Structure 1
Amino acid sequence: MIERVMGLDLGGKRIGVAVSDPMGWTAQGIEMVQRTDDSRWIERLHQLIEEYEIRSIVVGLPRNMDGTIGERGRACQDLARELEGRFGLPVHLWDERLSTAAVERTLIEADMSRKKRKKVVDQLAASWILQGYLDARSKARERSD
C-alpha cells in the first residue's frame, strides 16, 4: 500500500516539516512552521496534511543519550497524542537523537552561513527523522517478504 508520510521535528518555536514521496521511499523537507500561541500552526499542519494527502505522521522523539525520555521527550509524546486525536491519523514516534546536530554538521561542512542554516535546519532535521523511519519500515517489509 502506498502512503505519504509527514515527518515533524518539534521545537519550542519552530516545527520542521518533511513529507515522503508518494511511494513512501524518500523524505523531502518542505517547510518550517512557526509555533504560535494560537492555533495557526496547527491549522497550517492541517493544510499540509490535506495538500499532500498524508496518511500517517512521524514525530521526532528526543531521547537522552542513555535512551531515557526527558522533559522535551515527554512534551513531544503529549503533542503526538494531540496530533493523533486532532487529525485522526496514526502518529509514530521516532528516535531523533543527534538528528539536528548531524544536520548542523552537514550544513557547516557545506560552508552554509549561520543565518541560512537557521532557515533550513528544522526542515532538514524533519527530513532526517522521516528518512530514518522510512528506511526502517522498508527493511522490515523486506524481512517479512
Structure 2
Amino acid sequence: MSAKALPSSGSSPQTPQTFLAFDFGLKRTGVASGNTLTRTASPQATIAAEGDARFTAIAARIREWQPDALVVGVPFHPDGASHDNTVRARKFARQLRGRFGLPVMEVDERYSTTEAIASGAADADAASACIILEQYLRSLP
C-alpha cells in the first residue's frame, strides 16, 4: 500500500492539517476526518447517494470540516493490477479536485474494506475510509 505525498502548502510542519477521506463506491461513499496533529481518523456518516447528489453531500462536509486536502482510496487487485473500480475511484478523485479546488491524494486501499469488516465495524464504508486516512497520515514525515 502506498500514498502520494501532500503537495507543499507553505505551512510549517507544526501547523496541523485536516483531511477528509473517501472510500468511493457506486452507491455509498465512506467518509472519515482526521488531522496531522493526532494522526488518527474518525468515521463520519457514509454518503448514500449517487451522481450529483453525492457531490452535494460532499460539499456540505467540506464546508463543515474545512479540510486542507482530500484523500481517496483507490482499489487494486491483490497483484497490483487495475480494474474497473480503480478507474472509477481515480475519476472520482479528479472530480473532487476539479469541483472543490483542494489537493487530492490517492491511497492504495487494497484490503481496507476486508479489514473494516473483520474489525466488526457497524459501517464498513466509514471504517474503510478511516483505514485509508490513517494509512495516508502514517506515510507523512
Alpha-carbon shift at residue 55 of structure 1 (Å): 1.1
The equivalences for 1:30-45 within 5 A come to 30-37=44-51, 39-45=52-58
Q: Could you tell me how far apart the structure 2 residues matched to 1:13 and 1:124 are?
A: 16
- Matched with 1:125 is 128
The answer (yes or no) to whether the contact 1:58–1:94 under 8 Å persists in 2 is yes
The answer (yes or no) to whether the contact 1:3–1:24 under 8 Å persists in 2 is no
Q: Which has the higher helix share?
A: 1
Structure 2 unaligned spans of 5+: 1-14
Q: Give the TM-score taking structure 1 as reference length.
A: 0.82
**Residue identity matched to 2:98:** G
Q: Could you tell me how far apart the structure 2 residues matched to 1:75 and 1:40 are?
A: 17
**Residue identity matched to 1:103:** A
The equivalences for 1:1-145 within 5 A come to 1-21=15-35, 23=37, 25-37=39-51, 39-107=52-120, 117=122, 120-137=123-140, 141=141
Alpha-carbon shift at residue 23 of structure 1 (Å): 2.5
**Residue identity matched to 1:49:** I
Larger radius of gyration: 1
SS in 1 for 2:62: helix
- Matched with 2:10 is none
Structure 1 unaligned spans of 5+: none
**Residue identity matched to 1:72:** N
Q: Could you tell me how far apart the structure 2 residues matched to 1:50 and 1:22 are?
A: 19
The answer (yes or no) to whether the contact 1:24–1:134 under 8 Å persists in 2 is no
SS in 2 for 1:54: coil
Runs of 4+ in structure 1 deviating by more than 3 angstroms, as ranges, are: none
Q: Give the TM-score taking structure 2 as reference length.
A: 0.85
